[in-house]
Amino acid sequence: MANPISVLDVEIRRLVQYRGDIDDPSVFATEENVTTPLPLKNFFVVTLIGDIRAVNGHPAKGTYVGRTRVINTNPSPIADSGAAIADVTRTAMREHIFEILNEDDSQIGTIISTGFSGGQAPPGTGAPHDGKGGDWAIVGGTGAYLGARGQLRGAGGNPRPASMREDPGRRRHNTHDIPGDRNHFLLHLIPMQAPEIMTAPIGPLIFRHDFTLVTAATPALPNHDIILFATGLGPTNPDVDLTQPFPPPPPPNLQSPLTVTVDGVVAEHAHAAGIPGTVNGYQVRFKMPDIGAPPRQVPIRLSVAWMDGPTSTIWTGI
């Protein structure tokens, strides 16, 4: 079964594009004040730096860096504009690096992308054809995003332009801020391995707090602790080589944000840890939400680092 595609809405603040408008390295990053870049036509380099502040509306930290080579292609370039004639309309070649952190500054992982800026977004993202989307492929990642692939597009916002003379160490200074400064990228992400609840011939490996298997006869009860076993949750703290068995107790805790969703309701107190002696085996604990429904089988799904796993089922009772 193919891994689900997850959409990560990454919000970036204080995004500045430092344009390569000078050729004297001795004055790079020396100007304390806000700068205005010199007008340039084509082929110059731009370095973008910004702060990641949320993913899918949830607080996060981290750094976004982009590297751009302007090309300004157009099927009908305006005379003397410096634009290059080509079959597609694009503004630049661009690389993206998103290094995403937890709020405590611990690493979650990095996502890397490359492609074209400007012009239409790639088909399959549902983006409007407004010429702002960009066309970028996700080519890999590290940490929780090891081996990730997919595509991304911009979703509004304009970085503040600056000269490479400007000191990037003052990027967060209040004199350099832009009111309402928010930029978004939408990442359509396919993980190398999605978080998944283990199953056996008896069904999903989901248990009550006393390790009684959750079944129609012994359902999960609202506000009771539930235990399940899973794979594909990714890095832990302390760090462990995930190609090797988890060490003896105490078990290492999951490093990335974890969400357990039951019938559309997010469960409270979700926590996961590596199972000692296993490779890629995790124990997840959470409090069963009261979904206000008669006893029945309902969907349950794990999400790690905002990447969704496939849907399984759990029996619920009252």
- The per-residue pLDDT for range 173-203, each reduced to its tens digit, is 887 777 667 899 999 999 999 999 999 999 9
- Beta partners for residue 218, in sequence order: none
Helix and strand numbers (H, E) in the chain are 0, 25
At residue 129 the predicted structure's pLDDT band, cuts being 50, 70 and 90, is: low
Q: Are residue 209 and residue 186 in the same domain, yes or no?
A: no
Mind listing the pLDDT tens digit for each residue in 265-304? 999 999 999 999 999 999 999 999 999 878 899 999 999 9
Last residue of a domain, one of 175, 190, 205: 190
Query: Do 169 and 16 contact (CB within 8 A), yes or no?
Result: no
As a whole number of Å, the end-to-end CA separation of the chain is 33
Greatest Cα pair distance, the chain, in angstroms, is: 77
Strand pairing category for 196-197 and 225-231: antiparallel
Q: Are residue 147 and residue 49 in the same domain, yes or no?
A: yes
State the residue range of the domain holding 94.
6-190
Q: Are residue 87 and residue 143 in the same domain, yes or no?
A: yes
Q: Are residue 140 and residue 206 in the same domain, yes or no?
A: no
Cβ-in-10-Å burial (0-12, 13-18, 19+) of 302 comes to buried
Count CA atoms closer than 13 A to 164's CA, side-chain side.
16
Q: Are residue 184 and residue 201 in the same domain, yes or no?
A: no
pLDDT value at position 147?
A: 95
Last residue of a domain, one of 164, 190, 216: 190
The total domain count for the chain is 2
Q: Does residue 1 lie within any of the structural domains?
A: no
Last residue of a domain, one of 134, 166, 190: 190
